[in-house]
Amino acid sequence: MTEGKVMNRWLVVMGAIMVQMCLGAIYAWSVFTGALQDAGWTAAQTQVVFSVALVSYALSMVGAGFKLNTVGPRNMAILGGLILGTGYVIAGLFGGTNFWILLIFIGIVGGTGIGVGYVVPIAVGMRWFPDKKGLITGLAVAGFGLGAMLWVKLAGSMGNLIANFGLGTTFIILGITFAVFVTIGGMFMVFPPEGWLPAGYTPETSSAGGTSSVAVEFGAGEMVKTPQFWMIFFTFAFLASAGLMSIGLMQLYPMEALMANGMDRVSAMAVAGTAMAVFFSIANAAGRVVWGMISDVLGRKNSMVILAFSQGLVVMAFTYMAGTPALLYLGATLIGFNFGGGLALFPTLTADTFGTQSVGRNYPLIFLAYGAGALLGPNLGGILGGMGKFGMAFTICGILCLMGGILTMMLRAPEKKTDEAVEAEMEAA
């Protein structure tokens, strides 16, 4: 263990949550859509900006992961916050309602800032907490989700920024806030000293999906050539498809099911809205922390198998639950809990399989599966739902989750390259 004074590692957690809460701005976009439509935007235009932001976020995350060790986590986090904040401020300075300005500065620039900063708290947190990787990753990604709720409330019903100041000034206020708080949180985004370990912690040799650190790391180029990479990738894509399809239909489909069971439209809308806004959302945030903690005890592989199979069964059963309020709330809670949990388990499963030191570079490539799931699940739900076949959509996505569980059961530790080879690759990058 490295001698000398070492920063309190819980400061890293505080900084990580601060960073992630600001980066969660991407999921607060819906709070602006009403005002934009009042300004003459179509519903499709509002979704184009959101979609472009998601794509920019995913793609820039890959590039940032490859440069994390070169630029340094502190600089990378601060850079992400400044890019995000700058995008929102410039969008606000131009009035906040011009489609092309928002597409460029919130969709492309803002999305890029989120991707640049996102992987930093995950990579840094795992280095400081090799004994609690699941918990720390869960807290970080929960901060991302809770941040969206904070900005929605601040801009909308509680802070009333949009109502009191208009879109332009609201974007400027949020942009400055993001830049300041990510910079403050980013100051704590540093890797621990070389060779440092928590007191009393002894690393163990790990099998894929175990709870301990692996001493030998995979570079990204080597990782993508392994079957283990594709097993994790497709499992992530399958689970993301089911979760994102459920999000897209969580209000529309239950409304139809409730009205088919005799409930009036106004009451059905209220019940379905509660299922999404309360039960799903809270469970989504809680699942990220709880599943992370569970994985520290059971191991990442065992936890992922349980999550995938339980999600598959619940998603398939949802068509029988959606028409009864109590069962609808239960289904929304379980789907949200598992959906959020997956976002905590996949970074740690990646680290346990391919190495904690390389997770900043490797996880962004795994995360591209989330984008694949975003294309598959919602579109499948939209097409089949438009044909009145909601049950088929949920059944297909439930089967995909079960397939992900089977893939995870088959996961074994890949052969790992030597530390010297990885160091040479990093120096060459």
Domain ranges of the chain: 10-186, 220-409
Cα–Cα distance for residue pair 372/383, rounded to 1 Å: 17
Superfamily of domain 220-409: MFS general substrate transporter like domains (1.20.1250.20)
Domains 10-186 and 220-409 agree in fold:
yes
Compute the 3-state secondary structure of the chain and give helix, strand, coil in percent, each to the nearest 5: 80, 0, 20
Q: What is the pLDDT of residue 165?
A: 92
Q: What is the pLDDT of residue 211?
A: 44
State the SS3 of 146-175: HHHHHHHHHHCCCCCHHHHHHHHHHHHHHH
The CATH topology of domain 10-186 is Growth Hormone; Chain: A; (1.20.1250)
**Contact yes or no for 206/213 (Cβ under 8 A):** yes
Instruction: State how far the alpha carbon of 16 is from the alpha carbons of 182, 211, 377, in Å.
Output: 9, 21, 30
Which pTM was predicted?
Answer: 0.81
The dihedral over CA atoms of 159, 165, 170, 172, expressed in degrees to the nearest 10, equals -130
Backbone angles phi, psi at 397, to 5 degrees: -70, -35
pLDDT, mean of each 10-residue run, the chain (429 residues): 69 93 84 86 82 86 90 96 97 93 95 94 90 88 80 79 92 96 96 85 60 65 94 96 84 86 88 81 89 93 97 95 94 94 94 89 92 84 83 94 97 71 56
Cα–Cα distance for residue pair 280/362, rounded to 1 Å: 30
Q: What is the pLDDT of residue 3?
A: 47
